[in-house]
Every structure is written in structure tokens, then in C-alpha cells.
């Protein structure tokens, strides 16, 4: 039986740290508010309605992939959707971001967080995976994703965005039993959720720990690492996982350590606060790496974008296992033509680098 075309795609080979003819590129938030078509759609449809309408969610991503020429799609969804069937109310206020109406504030409140027994209540996400996979070029992989247990816990406790994460960190530090019970419940839910996405047609799984950067290494190791590791260990065998956290390069060795008891292809996502070559040294040579252009660079001009992309490719130095990406998501103010310019620059520049290396 022949292997599916995506199995030999640039991103899957890079995830396995195999040689590739050029560095693959995809971008976090590659479909979103910077696009005029997306803004027009949002004038008629709320963000939650869009996420819960598989036909629209799939089309948003499929049209983006075709327009940008990236090497992978990621499902169009939101990492907080999983919290609704776990008993928390979710809403997205205009220009204010997500709000959870009944946050968990005290240790006793942890019992209000329901066990996710099945993904039936999230079937709209699974159908989005199926429809996106069906409409995607067979040679391109599809990335599923979920929020990491810490980020989901922090949102659940803070009730929305936070500057200092003081409520979440206070619960974490004052009642380890309640904290671990909450994190374990979230880890089981995330594992179930990601495996359902994989079963529906996703080839890779990205775990977003958007708020983990607020922690120091000791607290991360003690209160977070065991739960993230349990998610990674529980994923379908052989499926590559991308572990991405924002804001604290000191955590990179621990992000890598989360893979230590798994033999799956391991990719550590890196933000822009550290050079890519220094990050690779921190995570170790036996891990693939994803990153790490500062999204603000896309607000400049094509020559600057090209120069900054080349700097990152030079830091990767043609080593196997690099997936080019931003250090976080595309900003809403980004000119769409600059995103195309970045993808084209990465495709052109690293092909030239690899050709030159072969000649040398």
C-alpha cells in the first residue's frame, strides 16, 4: 500500500529531521484579521459562529493556503473552545478578546471543571478537520492544535487576558493538590481532543502554551511539565508534535524535555526573543525547531522582511529539522502582500543557500 502524499512533504520530513531541498514555511494565524476577505466575513459572522461552522472555517484556511503558498495548513479554530463542554461559559467581546463568565477562583471551584468524557460536543471542530483535509492539496500536511494545560488553566482562572497572571499563579502556589487535579483533568481533555483531530485527518499536533512564559523554570518543572508531557505521551504513536510557548527562552530546555519519554518526531516552537541558533543549542540537536521571525517585521517592507528572513535561515545553517515560522501569530495590522513576500523570500532564499552548499 502506497504512503499518502503528505507523508513525504517538506514539513513531515523536517519534523523527522530528514534532509529537505528547501526549508518549509507556514505561519501562525496565517488566516485572520489582516485579510480583507476575512474581515468581510466577520462583518456577517461572529468569531464563535465562524469557529462552529465547519464549511466556513475550512474555507477560510483553504483559501489562505492557496493565496500564500505555504507548506501546511492549520485548522481554523480557537484554543479555548474546549473549555465550553468542561463547564465554562465563553464569549469573545469586540476588541477585548475572550471572556470566561464563570472563572475558577478558589481551590473548591476546581470541582466545577467537568471531565471531558467524549468529543461529541466539539464535533464541529472535528468536522472542520475533515473538511479542511478533504479540500487540501494531498501533498500538504494539516496541523491540528490545542491549548496546553497551563494556558487553559490560566485562562480558566483569570477569566480572560492578564498582565501578571497573579490569580492563576496564586492558586498554583497555594494549593498544589487543587492545581494538579485541574491540570490533570485538562491534560486528559487535551489528549482526547488532539487524538480526535488526528483521527479525523490531522498529520501533526501543535500544543500552544501561550502563557507559560510568565513562569520561572522551577515552577514550570514542578507544576506544568508533568502535565504537558502526559499530553505528548498520550498522542497517537508516530504523530509529530509541536510544543510552543511564548515569552521566556529560559524554558526552552524544559519544552524539549517534555518529549523525553516519547519517540515521536519532536518540534520545539521558538519565539523571537532568542536567536534561532542559540535556541537550537538549548533544546538539543535531536529536536526539530520551528520559528522564529518577529511578527512586527511583517509591518515593515519587503527588503527588510527578506533581510530578516535570511538572518534566521543563516542561523539554521541548512541543518535538517528547521520549519520556518513567526515567533507568534500574524498581527491584524499586517499588509497581506507582506505575508506573501515573506513566504516567497523563504522559498527563494533557502533554496539558493542549499544549492550553494551542494556546490561548495
Active site residue 78: yes
Phi, psi for 279 (deg, rounded to 5)? -60, -40
C-alpha cell at 345: 523570500
Rounded to the nearest 10 degrees, what angle do helices 166-174 and 149-158 cross at? Answer: 110
- Within 10 A of 326 (CB to CB), how many other CB atoms are there? 27
Given 33, 105, 273, 319, the catalytic residue: 33
Q: What is residue 333's DSSP assignment? A: T
Given 42, 99, 222, 319, the catalytic residue: 42
Active site residue 109: no
User: What are 268's strand-pairing partners?
Assistant: 243, 289
Identify how many contiguous H helices and E strands the chain contains and give both numbers: 14, 9
Given 38, 155, 165, 193, the catalytic residue: 155
Active site residue 188: no
Given 22, 29, 133, 264, the catalytic residue: 29
C-alpha cell at 5: 502524499
Cα distance between residue 95 and residue 354, in whole Å: 43
Given 71, 78, 209, 271, the catalytic residue: 78
Cα distance between residue 64 and residue 339, in whole Å: 11
Catalytic residues, which ones?
Answer: 29, 33, 42, 78, 155
Amino acid at each position: 500500500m502506497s504512503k499518502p502524499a503528505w507523508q513525504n512533504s517538506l514539513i513531515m520530513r523536517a519534523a523527522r529531521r530528514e534532509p529537505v531541498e528547501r526549508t518549509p514555511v507556514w505561519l501562525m494565524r496565517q488566516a485572520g484579521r489582516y485579510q480583507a476577505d476575512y474581515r468581510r466575513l466577520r462583518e456577517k459572522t461572529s468569531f464563535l459562529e465562524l469557529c462552529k461552522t465547519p464549511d466556513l472555517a475550512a474555507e477560510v484556511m483553504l483559501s489562505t493556503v492557496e493565496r500564500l503558498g505555504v507548506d501546511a495548513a492549520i485548522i481554523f479554530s480557537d484554543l479555548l473552545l474546549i473549555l465550553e463542554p468542561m463547564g465554562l461559559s465563553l464569549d469573545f467581546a469586540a476588541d477585548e478578546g475572550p471572556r470566561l463568565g464563570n472563572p475558577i477562583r478558589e481551590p473548591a471551584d476546581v470541582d466545577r471543571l467537568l471531565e471531558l468524557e467524549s468529543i461529541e460536543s466539539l464535533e464541529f471542530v472535528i468536522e472542520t478537520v475533515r473538511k479542511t483535509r478533504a479540500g487540501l492539496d494531498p501533498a500538504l500536511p494539516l496541523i491540528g492544535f490545542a491549548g496546553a494545560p497551563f494556558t487553559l488553566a490560566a485562562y480558566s482562572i483569570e477569566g480572560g487576558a492578564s498582565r501578571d497572571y497573579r490569580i492563576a499563579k496564586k492558586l498554583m502556589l497555594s494549593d498544589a493538590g487543587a492545581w494538579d487535579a485541574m491540570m490533570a483533568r485538562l491534560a486528559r481533555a487535551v489528549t482526547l481532543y488532539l487524538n480526535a483531530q488526528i483521527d479525523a485527518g490531522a498529520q501533526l499536533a501543535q500544543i500552544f502554551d501561550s502563557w507559560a512564559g510568565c513562569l520561572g523554570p522551577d515552577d514550570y518543572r514542578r507544576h506544568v511539565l508533568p502535565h504537558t508531557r502526559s499530553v505528548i505521551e498520550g498522542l497517537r504513536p508516530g504523530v509529530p508534535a509541536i510544543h510552543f510557548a511564548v515569552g521566556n527562552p529560559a524554558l526552552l530546555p524544559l519544552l524539549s524535555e517534555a518529549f523525553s519519554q516519547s519517540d515521536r518526531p519532536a518540534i520545539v516552537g521558538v519565539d523571537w526573543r532568542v536567536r534561532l541558533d542559540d535556541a537550537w543549542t538549548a533544546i538539543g540537536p535531536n529536536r526539530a525547531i520551528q520559528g522564529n521571525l518577529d511578527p512586527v517585521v511583517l509591518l515593515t517592507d519587503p527588503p527588510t522582511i527578506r533581510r530578516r528572513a535570511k538572518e534566521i535561515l543563516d542561523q539554521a545553517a541548512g541543518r535538517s529539522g528547521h520549519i520556518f515560522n513567526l515567533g507568534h501569530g500574524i498581527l491584524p495590522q499586517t499588509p497581506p502582500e507582506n505575508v506573501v513576500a515573506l513566504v516567497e523570500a523563504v522559498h527563494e532564499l533557502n533554496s539558493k543557500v542549499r544549492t550553494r552548499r551542494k556546490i561548495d
